Amino acid sequence: MHYGVILICLAMNQTPAVEVVTLSEKQVKGTIESLTANEVVIKSTEGTVVVPVSELLTIRSSQPVAPSAAEGKFVLKLTDDTQLGVSSFISAGSTVTVGHAVFGDIQMPVTAISSIRFAPADPKVDQEWNQLLERSVKKDLLTVRKGDVLDHLDGIIGSLNDTTLQFQLDGDDLSVKRERAFGLIYSKRDSTSKKATARLELVTGDRLSARQVEWNGKKWRVRLVTGPELEVAPEQLSTLDFSQSKITYLSDLDPRSVKYTPYFNYPGVIVWEYKKDRAFEGKPMFLGKVEYRKGLAIHSQTQLRFRLGGEYRKFQAVMGIGDEIQQGDASVIVKADERVIFNGSAKTRVAEGPLAGQRPEPQKLDLDVTGVVELEIFVGFGSEGEAVTDIGDRVYFGNARLLR
């Protein structure tokens, strides 16, 4: 089957019920009327709602569809971050043909392939396989399992059929039995994942990285970054995520620098180094009884600096002392290229006024970082200074994110 339209499913060509979430966290429920490169149109109980694609975050199916396991016995990964469960993998010349339980046969250039794993998941070797995937290799890798260890050969992957793999090692051509190969990792090519405008999560667990997505009234029409066009039936879609090209979570970045000064600084004392996507002690982050699976947990006397490189326009987060803390008081300063853009505090109790003694609502930060090269977050002692222990000074930045 050549490049072209690949049908995922012909049944249930009905207008799907969806939940649309925008960058401003507005939620719209209804049925989708259209999706183009410019806008999505939803018919809701309040009428027709039009959302520009530039403000679109996610489209989720609101129909209760039970996940179904992908029938493919091999795991294929492409350079655009697409992942498919496939039942066959044949390579000849510059073209690869893979078989999919729903797609049928799909052809793509060998340059689109990142890796193919023939062996099923096994915790004894999964970590080692993942480490090999992360390596920057100049040659192709043929991996072979020996007991609970993965061995590999560096060379050039050639043609491959159901029984035999051609592999060039140190200039010699080898014929390797297909059944001996644990998996193949192709030499690192330039990743094309950043060219994706959206990512589709299917109920089978497959993941598609798309350059373009449209709704044609019956199916989702998807053009992958690596080339092929797919048509996805509504019951196959779990989530359509547009956030990749618009949002970067701070927890997905490594700070340029980290400075932390413990309250007590001697051997054996517990220190509270900042955490990503979880609270301290490995627990979930809760602010105002809402769980945040993305974000930063920062203790007092911690300074984090992130390099933004002038690529973003907004820094947003929901900030406050963690719900599990009964007594906490911390100052928070956010700087953009040494310029203070936020100077406030996070507390567990309002000090004065009509709400004195009550727990304040978490604060929503929406700060302009247009053109900013470096962002700094500093959490310090609160208004009481060092008069009390700092154990409760745990400031959570839920959904801390940068918008392009």
pLDDT in tens, 101-155: 877 899 999 999 999 999 998 999 999 999 999 888 889 999 999 999 999 999 9
Q: How far apart are CA 300 and CA 264, in angstroms?
A: 12
- Which pLDDT score is estimated for 96? 94
> What is the reported pLDDT for 45?
86
| 260 CB burial (10 A radius; 0-12, 13-18, 19+) | middle
Q: How confident is the model at residue 218 (pLDDT cuts 50, 70, 90)?
A: confident
User: What ranges make up the beta strands (E) of 119-261?
Assistant: 140-146, 149-160, 164-169, 172-177, 183-185, 198-202, 207-215, 220-224, 229-232, 237-241, 247-249, 257-260
pLDDT attached to residue 8: 38
Q: Please report where in the chains the tokens 């180094």 appear, as a residue.
A: 273
DSSP 134: H
Please state the rounded mean pLDDT for residues 16-27.
87
Instruction: Give the mean model confidence (pLDDT) for residues 195-210.
Output: 91
Provide the pLDDT for residue 270.
62
d(CA 20, CA 15): 14
pLDDT > 70 in the chain, percent: 88
pLDDT of residue 29: 92
Predicted confidence at residue 257, as pLDDT, reads: 95
Give first-to-last CA distance, the chain, whole Å.
38
Predicted local confidence at residue 393, as pLDDT: 83
Mean pLDDT score across all residues of the chain: 86
Task: Return d(Cα 89, Cα 96) in angstroms, integer.
Answer: 7
Residue 350's pLDDT band (boundaries 50, 70, 90)? low
Q: Which of 152, 138, 116 is nearest to 188 (CA)?
A: 138
Mean pLDDT, range 234-253, rounded to an integer: 89
> Which one is predicted more confidently, 395 or 352?
395
pLDDT of residue 357: 60
Q: What is the mean pLDDT of residues 26-45?
A: 90
Q: Residue 234: phi, psi to the nearest 5?
A: -60, -35
Cβ 62 vs Cβ 29: under 8 Å: yes
Res. 39: pLDDT tops 80: yes
Left if phi > 0, otherwise alpha if psi is -120 to 50, otherwise beta: which for 380? beta
Structure tokens at 160: 């491959």
Query: Mean per-residue pLDDT for 173-199?
Result: 88
pLDDT of 281 reads: 82
DSSP letter for 359, please: P
pLDDT exceeds 90 at position 49: yes
Instruction: Please tell me the predicted confidence (pLDDT) of residue 115.
Output: 95
Q: What is the pLDDT of residue 368?
A: 96
pTM over 0.85: no
